[in-house]
Amino acid sequence: MKCVLKGLTALALLLLATAGVEAGFHRGGSYCGPGYIEAPCAPAVQYVTTYQQVPRTVCRVVPVVTNQEITEYVNVPNTRKEKRDYTVWVPTMQKEQRTRTEWKTEWKTENREETILVQKIDNVEQKYWVCVPRSRVEKRTRQEVQTTWRTEDRKVTVWFPQTRQVEQKYMVCVPDVRIEKRTTTVLVPEIKTEQREQAVTIYRCVPTVENRQVVSYCPTIIANPCYDPCGPRCGAVVACMTPTVTNVPVTVMRTVPETSVQKYLVNVCNYKSVEQTYDVQIHSTKMVEQKQMVTVCEWASREETQKVQVPETKVIEVPYDVVIHFSEMEERKTTVPVCKWVPTVRPYTVQIPITTPVQVPYTVEYCVMKAEARSEMIDVVEWKTETRKRTVPVTSYQTVTEVVMVTVPVTVAVPCAPAPVIAPGCFTPWGGH
């Protein structure tokens, strides 16, 4: 933050110095006209920063190391040799001669004969009967019934509905609730407060003085010895900012860890069994007789006179033609191929297997387990608890008040020297004016 403030201060000083110089240069008119004389400008101001030593009171955290004796319980191993016997089953391979029966097959050739049926086809003339369709037309008559309609007045019995309200009884299943007392065992929590300890590390800020470099810019007025057609004339005064590096002591806050033991309370929850009595609602149903009004529909009859269409029929003889279809049997002849099977004797050769048993010897290898007694020395470790004491360094922190000299920046405004007046007809090194 201090570095940012210092940079902003230097930038403000540079802008003020540049504005003052430009106002002094441009107030008289053109730069290069004959008889040019710089008019006097308002006095410029230069800000100078100085640093002063100021006493400040600072609280420091100082570590204090003390030796504390603690007791430790250590398990010390004690090893001894012990002989133990055990039985091991060792596999042993043995060989045995055995025989097996194998069947050896030999093939023998024999000549045999077989009787087969050979197919023979002959053409034979056969007679068959065919049913040929025929038809003839006959004149016939049929009786048709002709219907005519006439209107008559007739009495008709008509049924119409009548409704009335009737009271009816019916059974309804109504729910019923009763309350029973029951007992149960409930685990009730008990909260007990216990005090415990824990190590807490706290980081405290301690001020430390460090030397850092600060760059500041101061305006400086110099004469321009070079020729620039777009700048000021030869010999004109130019203001520029000159950097200055200064070593400044800065107070920096650093964190120092501090470990302490704090006590805190913890709520420990335990449960105990408690007998509680509670009410249980048991739901059941019962039948209740209820009444309601029901609409009953009944049918009543009455006689009405209606016009009815009555049919009248009469029989009429109507002639018509009938086509009668019939069939006649007709004898025909055709040639049909007839297949016959003729038995024929044919010789053939057959391979006949002849099997004979043969005894073949072979060797079988099998495993036999034998018991073998062995002994071995093993290490038996016994643990013994010992009490030991040792000294441990314990670090604690104390707050100490100390007076520290702090460097504080002080900025003072100092007026600059006035710019010189340039006489007309300035001579340049290149021979021009």
Report pLDDT digits (tens) over 378-416.
888 888 888 888 888 888 888 888 888 888 888 877 776
In a domain, 298, yes or no: yes
Burial label, 204 (beta-carbon count in 10 A; 0-12, 13-18, 19+): middle
Q: How many of the other CB atoms lie within 10 Å of CB of 133?
A: 8
Answer whether 288's CB lies under 8 Å from 162's CB: no
Answer whether 39's CB lies under 8 Å from 31's CB: no
In a domain, 428, yes or no: no
Mean pLDDT of the chain: 80
| Tokens standing for residue 322 | 């009938």
* β-bridge partners, 40: none
User: 44 falls in which pLDDT band (50, 70, 90)?
Assistant: low
Report pLDDT digits (tens) over 301-314.
888 888 888 888 88
pLDDT at residue 73 in the model: 86
Range of the structural domain that residue 268 is part of: 2-415
Of residues 218, 276, 260, the one with CA closest to residue 416 = 218
In a domain, 273, yes or no: yes
Number of H helices, E strands in the chain: 1, 2
- Rounded-to-10 torsion of CA 17, 23, 26, 31: -30
User: 224 falls in which pLDDT band (50, 70, 90)?
Assistant: low
Q: What is the Cα–Cα distance from 277 to 275, expressed in whole angstroms?
A: 7
In a domain, 423, yes or no: no
pLDDT at residue 238 in the model: 64
Share of the chain above pLDDT 90, in %: 0
In a domain, 432, yes or no: no
Please state the rounded mean pLDDT for residues 91-101: 89
In a domain, 176, yes or no: yes
* β-bridge partners, 117: 343
Of residues 219, 220, 222, 226, the one with CA closest to residue 10 = 219
Burial label, 310 (beta-carbon count in 10 A; 0-12, 13-18, 19+): exposed
Q: Which of 28-37, 96-105, 174-183, 347-356 has the lowest mean pLDDT?
A: 28-37
pLDDT at residue 119 in the model: 84
Assess whether pLDDT exceeds 80 at residue 9: no
Q: How many domains does the chain contain in total?
A: 1
In a domain, 44, yes or no: yes
pLDDT at residue 325 in the model: 87
Assess whether pLDDT exceeds 50 at residue 40: no
User: 235 falls in which pLDDT band (50, 70, 90)?
Assistant: low
User: 146 falls in which pLDDT band (50, 70, 90)?
Assistant: confident
Q: What is the DSSP string of 102-161?
A: EEEEEEEEEEEEEEEEEEEEEEEEEEEEEEEEEEEEEEEEEEEEEEEEEEEEEEEEEEEE
pLDDT at residue 334 in the model: 87
In a domain, 198, yes or no: yes
Report pLDDT digits (tens) over 347-383.
889 888 888 888 989 898 888 888 889 888 888 888 8
Integer distance in angstroms from the first to the last C-alpha of the chain? 52
The identity of residue 283, as a single letter, is H
Report pLDDT digits (tens) over 125-145.
888 888 888 888 888 888 888
